[in-house]
Amino acid sequence: MKRSVRVFVALAAGLGAFASLIPPSPAAADVDPVPLTILSYRTAVARAAPSVVTVHSGRTVSGRLPFTPRVLVKGIASGVIVERDGYIVTNHHAVQGTSDLVVALADGSAYPTRVVGEDPDSDIALLKIDAEGLRPIAVADINDVAVGDVVLAMGNPLGIGHTVTQGIISAIVRKGATPIENFIQTDAAINPGNSGGALIDTAGRLVGINALILSHSGGSEGIGFAIPVDLVQTVVAILKTKGRVSRAWLGLWTGPPRQGQGARVVAVEREGPADRAGIEPGDVIVRFGERQVQRPQDVTSVVIGGEPGEQMAIDLVRNGNPATVEVQLAPLPTQQATP
C-alpha cells in the first residue's frame, strides 16, 4: 500500500515537472479573433424559396384487369411563381391529363389551380391561382450563364418537402434544333417531384426549370436537365395570351456573331422557308419582324411565337452590306428538328 502511494506521488511529481514546460494559456482577452468565413448560399435560397411551390394533382387511370374500377392516382411536382398575379410555371408532363390541381405555397397555404396553357414540345405548362402577396422569382440573364457556374435545384423531391441541392452547370446543350433540346445540364441532384422546380444561381435568380434526368436507377445520378429561362419566358408569354404554341418553322441554325449583336446564320435547311427567302450561311440577322435581334435566342423566340403561313421581314447584314428579305414561316414538318 505504501509502495503504491510512493508510485503515485512520483508520477504526480513527474507530471508536475512536465507541466512546467508547457507555456501558460493566454487569457481570452489576449487571443486575437480568428477570421471566420462561411461559404453559404443561404441568401440565395431565402430569396428564391417563397417563389417555389408544390403542385398536387390527381390522375384517373383504368384498372390493370378487365372490369376493374378506375382509380385516382395522386401526383406531386414543383412549380415556380413567375408573376405576382398568380401565374406559375411547371412541366407539361407533370400536369398532363391531371385533374384537381392544387398549388401549395412555401408558407403551407393551398389554392385550387387551373391550367392556362400547355406546350408539350418545350415541356412547359402555365398555371394560375388566385392569391395575393405572391413573390415572383428573380430571373437571370441566360447570356451570363456559363459551364462551371454553381447552381441550386429547388423543389419537393419525392414529396418530402422543400429541398435544396447544389451542383454546377455541367453543359449548355444548345443545338439550335427543337426547343426541348436546348437544355441546361447540371449535376445538382434532381429526383421525382423536382419536375417544374427552380434551378437558380447563387444570387437566387432563375436559370431554368428542372425537367428531367438521365438515370439507370430512376434516381439522381448526376445528369439532370433544366429548360433555360429564356425559352421559359418566351413560352410563358405565348401561353398567357394564346393558351397554346403554334409550331412554326424557319429552317436555319444560328449562332453568335463574330462581333456585335445579332444572330449569325450557321446553316440553312435546303428548300426550307429561310432557303426560299434567299438567306445564306454567314448572314447576320439583326431584325426579325418587329423584334430587334440581339442574340441567337431572339430568332428562336420569334419563330416560336409566329404562326405557320405568317409573312415576316428579316433585316440582315451580308458581307458588311445591309439587306432585307421576306420569309414565310411554314408548319413544323413531321420529325423536323430545325426551328
Q: Known catalytic residues?
A: 93, 123, 195
3-state secondary structure of 185: strand
Contacts for 284-292: CB closer than 8 Å, 24+ residues apart: 284/257, 284/260, 284/316, 284/317, 284/318, 285/254, 285/314, 285/315, 285/316, 286/261, 286/262, 286/315, 286/316, 286/317, 287/313, 287/314, 287/315, 288/312, 288/314, 288/315, 289/313, 289/314
Q: Which is it for the CA torsion 87, 93, 97, 99, positive or negative?
A: negative
List, in order, residues 6 or more apart from 163 with CB less than 8 Å away. 154, 155, 156, 157
One DSSP character per residue, 109-138 reads: -EEE-EEEEEETTTTEEEEE---SS--PPP
Direct distance between the N- and C-terminal alpha carbons of the chain, in angstroms, rounded to an integer: 97
* DSSP type of residue 139: B
The 110-112 sheet, strands edge to edge: 110-112, 99-104, 52-61, 71-81, 87-91, 124-128, 114-119
Cell numbers at 4, concatenated: 503504491
The CA distance from 99 to 185, in Å, is 31
